[in-house]
């Protein structure tokens, strides 16, 4: 025997509806913040340098301010669809929202699988191509330069690949054939002791001429291992922590997709009730 439903009965759960709305409202604000910060940094760099190169995919990938703006734009649009779709009970927006989350989830899973399945030789080719682009653009993009200096000083590494500090021979300023005073050198962020303890000043010339030294001699002045190997070793040491975080993110995404599809089904039931 079914319980009689009153005239005010609705299949749509207020708990599910407003949970989706609040979660997406927070991400909508965060996406807007990323767009604002990214565009501000992009325009500021454009005005400072007068030239921004965006000819290839690598140019876009290495433009950090533009990447932040693009990432913020995606978050802003998807979370806006979730917000309005839940609040207005719009199934089209909810389908778009859940589809975007599903695509993101599949891309993350595909990236994780490719990282384990692809042979190390292919990884090496990708790293080499990417390294040449990064090292070559070091002095052309202030944001990229600051990011590389931060990574090298914090992770105690120099360069990207297994060649380590010798990667900087691919840069037109640090190449030994360069007329620059920095020829055969590396950035100061590679130095083990770049900051003078007594004065507190950074010695930007501490990496000059290091490429002329063998690894044993260079290791007394600069970090000689590439950053990719250092980060990979760090990831292997913290594999369980990283796996736990990744699993938590994946389950959270699946839970939100489940909420969106649940709300979508409830809205369809409610529409069918109104029609009958």
Is residue 124, in this structure, part of any structural domain at all?
A: yes
Is residue 94, in this structure, part of any structural domain at all?
A: yes
Domain count, the chain: 1
Is residue 122, in this structure, part of any structural domain at all?
A: yes
* pLDDT exceeds cutoff 80 at 180: yes
What CA–CA distances, in Å, run from 36 to 45, 71, 158, 182? 14, 11, 32, 36
Is residue 189, in this structure, part of any structural domain at all?
A: no
Mean of pLDDT values over 22-29: 94
Is residue 129, in this structure, part of any structural domain at all?
A: yes
Alpha carbon distance, N-terminus to C-terminus of the chain:
21
- Residue 90: give the domain boundaries: 14-155
* pLDDT exceeds cutoff 60 at 125: no
Angle at 30 (CA atoms; ends 140, 107), nearest 5 degrees: 75
Confidence (pLDDT) at 25: 95
Sign of CA dihedral 82, 84, 85, 89: positive
Cβ density class 30-56: b for 16+ within 10 Å, e for less: ebbebbeebbebbeebeeeeeeeeeee
Mean of pLDDT values over 193-209: 78
* pLDDT exceeds cutoff 60 at 124: no
Closest CA to 140 of 226, 54, 75: 54
3-state secondary structure 112-176: HHHHHHCCHHHHHHHHHHHHHHHHHCCCCCHHHHHHHHHHHHHHCCCCCCCCHHHHHHHCCCCCC
Q: What is the pLDDT of residues 37-93, one digit of tens each?
A: 999 988 888 877 776 777 777 777 778 888 999 999 999 999 999 999 998 889 999
The per-residue pLDDT of the chain, averaged, comes to 84
3-state secondary structure 162-195: CCHHHHHHHCCCCCCCCCCCCCCCCCHHHECCCE
* pLDDT exceeds cutoff 70 at 8: no
Q: What is the pLDDT of residues 223-254, one digit of tens each?
A: 999 888 888 888 888 889 988 998 998 899 99
Confidence (pLDDT) at 3: 44
Is residue 237, in this structure, part of any structural domain at all?
A: no
Is residue 249, in this structure, part of any structural domain at all?
A: no
Confidence (pLDDT) at 196: 67
The two tokens of residue 2 are 């079914």
The two tokens of residue 107 are 């891309």
Is residue 236, in this structure, part of any structural domain at all?
A: no
Confidence (pLDDT) at 49: 72
Confidence (pLDDT) at 101: 93
Q: Report how far Cα 135 is from the mean position of its chain's Cα atoms.
A: 19
* pLDDT exceeds cutoff 60 at 1: no
């Amino acid at each position: 025997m079914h319980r009689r439903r009153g005239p005010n009965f609705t299949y749509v759960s207020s708990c599910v509806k407003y949970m989706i709305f609040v979660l997406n409202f927070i991400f909508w604000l965060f996406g807007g913040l990323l767009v604002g910060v990214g565009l501000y940094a992009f325009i500021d760099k454009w005005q400072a340098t007068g030239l921004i190169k965006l000819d290839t995919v690598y140019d876009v990938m290495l433009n950090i301010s533009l990447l932040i703006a693009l990432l913020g734009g995606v978050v802003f649009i998807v979370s806006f669809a979730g917000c309005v779709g839940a609040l207005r009970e719009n199934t089209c927006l909810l389908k778009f929202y859940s589809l975007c989350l599903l695509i993101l989830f599949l891309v993350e899973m595909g990236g994780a699988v490719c990282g384990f399945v692809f042979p190390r030789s292919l990884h090496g080719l990708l790293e080499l191509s990417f390294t040449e682009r990064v090292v070559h653009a070091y002095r052309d993009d202030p944001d990229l330069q600051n990011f590389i200096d931060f990574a090298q000083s914090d992770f105690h590494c120099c360069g990207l690949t297994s060649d380590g500090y010798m990667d900087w021979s691919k840069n037109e300023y640090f190449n030994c054939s360069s007329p620059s005073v920095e020829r055969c050198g590396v950035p100061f962020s590679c130095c083990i002791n770049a900051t003078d303890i007594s004065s507190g000043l950074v010695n930007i010339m501490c990496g000059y001429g290091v490429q002329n030294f063998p690894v044993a001699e260079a290791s007394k002045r600069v970090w000689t291992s590439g950053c990719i190997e250092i980060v990979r070793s760090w990831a292997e040491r913290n594999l369980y922590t990283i796996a736990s975080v990744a699993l938590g993110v994946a389950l959270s995404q699946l839970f939100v997709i489940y909420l969106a599809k649940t709300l979508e089904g409830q809205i369809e039931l409610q529409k069918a009730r109104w029609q009958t």
